[in-house]
A and B are shown apart, each in its own frame.
Chain A
Amino acid sequence: MILSVRNLEKSFGGLKAVDNVSFDVIEKEIFGIIGPNGAGKTTLFNCICGVYQPTKGEILLKGKPIHNLPSHEIANLGIARTFQITHLFLDMSVMDNIISAFGLKNYRGIFGFFKNCYTEENISKAKKLIDLMELNGLEKVRASNLSLGFMRRLEIARALALEPEILMLDEPCAGLSHNAAEEFIDLIKKLQGKLTIIMVEHNMNVIMNICNRIVVLNYGKKIAEGIPEHIQTNKEVIEAYLGREEDADT
């Protein structure tokens, strides 16, 4: 159990975006969070990452509570994340975007941050990530000049540069073509077994293909948890999605 979410609740004003959600994530598994639009997935995601503080409940990382910590400290504890709309450092090069994350330990304190960031070690580590994410040849390109698919990959590369134990991906396949999504699946499979991956996603093909286990949210509540085969045949899950489609038709 690397991450435990216990009775988590997050309200905005009177609205409960996340309502008494509990689940555990097993170390090194690929874990999916799905649900119709507005189900509270991103809110849950942001609570884990320290962007929101939960109203009630707790989040434990290897047994230690992290739900009251700010994002930069959660990054220090080994959780890296990507964003639904890419949050790259747009005026910096691909290389700089990746190297920036290597500074994790040095950003703390007072004097560590004057150390040189362009060490041989960092540069070679960055080049390995560039290989892994297939960004070769783009090292000097300004991040704002990349296409969407490459931007997504760069953001994952930057997250991996934190050398995290948990990699959290927020709708990594949104807006990607079928082929690009397939490429993404291959990429994730390369990471399988090396670290824990938690993924919010709408693309069912991707989710069912990669995830070991899945949790399903609807209207802020957990309605199912289990392996893909069980989720696919779960009555409540089907109703949650189909029910929404019916509403949309009328």
Chain B
Amino acid sequence: MYEVVVAINIGIFILLSLSLNIVTGYAGQPNIGHAAFFGIGAYTSAILTSKIGFNFLISLFLSGIIAGIVGMILGMISIRVREDFLAITTIGINFVVVAIFRYSPFFGGSFGMAVPTPTVFGIEFNNYTYLSLIYLFIVLIILFLRKIENSWFGMALGGIRNNEEAAESIGINVKKFKIVAFTISTFIAGITGCIYAHYMSFISSDDFGFLTSITILSMTVIGGLGTIQGPIIGAFILGIIPEIFRFVADYRMLLYGGLLVLMMRFQPHGLFGKESFLLNKLVNLFGRGNRW
């Protein structure tokens, strides 16, 4: 049972890292406030199911939609704002969103909110249900991301990441694609938030702050920005270390911070990113078919 819990936690981080990667890895837009959208999804579902009585499936979908809409607004803000400003703005949005959750009685204030356990088609959810749901989503998202990587959307994001002016000159409407990237990324985070809320049965604003955003960012970066395997491996490594090395739990933030610094200094592409030492070694060992 313990393993199931660990697997669920890691699964949630994988979903968050993969979704963050769309905006920060593929499109190159620094979003240091991704946890805010995780939180918006969580609270949306909490409100819809406990106060309005919607069923889980509708609530799941709506959590994604609401988070996606706020994400779309962030996308529109990102257009007006330069890259370095954007990072700060996302931190600010994270801060404001969490403050609204913490200080607003509607969201339970500093006490948080209880979230009911869903019953779908007569089956009451248990840890195995959550586990399956989460990993089902992970598979779906991986398939989706692979499609993106081989599509014009991926090309457009790559263009934006590298040189926006050049991207415009080959017909890429940079504004449109930034908004789409943010919307998709935050939609996924919102859905993840919904699942998380019901799994935990209780949420509070502390779960969705700057520290969580940094954790998600660390996983994506350490694993390798801009790849599919990177965020997954990063989430796994950073998720599993505190479990394997219990004594590390107290040093978690120190570890994350230190790893971020070391990675950025010596392997900015992440452990399994495109240019990484490890990846190159693996590729040499196993060979790799080309896309073309």
> What residues of chain A have their CB less than 8 Å away from a CB belonging to chain B?
49-51, 70-72, 75-76, 80-81, 83, 87-92, 95-96, 99-101, 103-108, 112-118, 123, 140, 158-159, 161-162
Contact = CB atoms under 8 A, between A and B. Distances in A.
B24 to A, nearest CB: 14
Interface in B177-191: 177
B156 A49 contact: no
B154 interface: yes
A115 B148 CA distance: 9
B163 interface: yes
Q: Which 9 A-B pairs have the closest CB atoms?
A: A87-B166, A89-B162, A71-B168, A103-B152, A104-B171, A113-B152, A75-B171, A113-B153, A106-B152
22 contacts: A49-B169, A71-B168, A71-B169, A72-B170, A72-B172, A83-B169, A87-B163, A87-B165, A88-B166, A89-B166, A92-B162, A101-B171, A103-B152, A107-B152, A107-B172, A112-B152, A113-B153, A113-B156, A114-B151, A114-B152, A118-B292, A161-B170
Contact of A118 (B168, B169, B171, B291): B291
B23 to A, nearest CB: 16
Nearest to A70: B168
Interface in B158-217: 158-159, 161-163, 165-174, 177
Interface residues of B, number: 29
B156 A90 contact: no
B147 interface: yes
Contact of B170 (A51, A70, A115, A158): A158
A76 B171 contact: yes
B171 A117 contact: no
Contacts of A107: 152, 156, 171-173, 177
B152 A89 contact: no
A50 B151 CA distance: 26
Secondary structure of the B side of the interface? Answer: helix
Max count, chain B CB within 10 A of own CB: residue among A90, A100, A116: A100
A117 B166 contact: no
Given A72-B169, A91-B161, 20 more contacts: A70-B168, A71-B165, A72-B168, A75-B170, A87-B163, A88-B163, A89-B158, A89-B163, A90-B163, A91-B162, A96-B158, A101-B171, A103-B155, A103-B172, A104-B171, A106-B152, A107-B156, A107-B177, A114-B148, A158-B170
A103 B156 contact: yes
B150 interface: yes
A72 B164 CA distance: 11
A100 B163 contact: no
Contacts, number: 106
Contact of B152 (A51, A115, A140): A115
Contact of A91 (B169, B274, B290): B274
Nearest to A49: B169
Nearest to A74: B169
A46 to B, nearest CB: 10
Contacts of A87: 163, 165-166, 169
A108 B171 CA distance: 8
B171 A72 contact: yes
A90 B161 CA distance: 10
A101 B168 CA distance: 10
Contacts of A71: 165, 168-169
B159 A100 contact: yes
Nearest to B154: A117
Given A90-B162, A91-B162, A100-B158, A80 B151 contact: no
A106 B167 CA distance: 13
A103 B292 CA distance: 16
B169 A114 contact: no
A72 B174 contact: yes
A91 B226 CA distance: 11
